[in-house]
Amino acid sequence: MSSGPLEDDGRAEHPGFEAFEGMWAERAPLGWDLANHEPAAKACVALLSDWFPATTGEIVHVDGGVHAIGG
């Protein structure tokens, strides 16, 4: 799974993360809220469930659509 940036305690460890956050919010056609962990959490639950019974080798992008427009 590939997720967009999320607010957490570890982001302070990455120099330049603030610029990355701003870019993401501007480019995500579906919108992106850095404080909302629910979309990524739901994707994790789905991947760990039996809801993808015959899926192999796929990347699930949970990023508000940034991957689709060349973010």
Give the pLDDT band (50/70/90) at residue 39.
very high
Least confident residue range of 7-16, 43-52, 58-67 = 7-16
* pLDDT higher than threshold 80 for residue 63: yes
* pLDDT higher than threshold 70 for residue 71: no
d(CA 39, CA 37): 6
DSSP state of 14: S
List phi, psi (to 5°) of 3. -115, 155
The pLDDT, as a whole number, for residue 42 is: 95
pTM: 0.78
* Mean of all residue pLDDT scores within the chain: 86
The full DSSP string for 7-53 is: --GGGGGSTTHHHHHHHHHHH-TT---TT--HHHHHHHHHHHTTSST
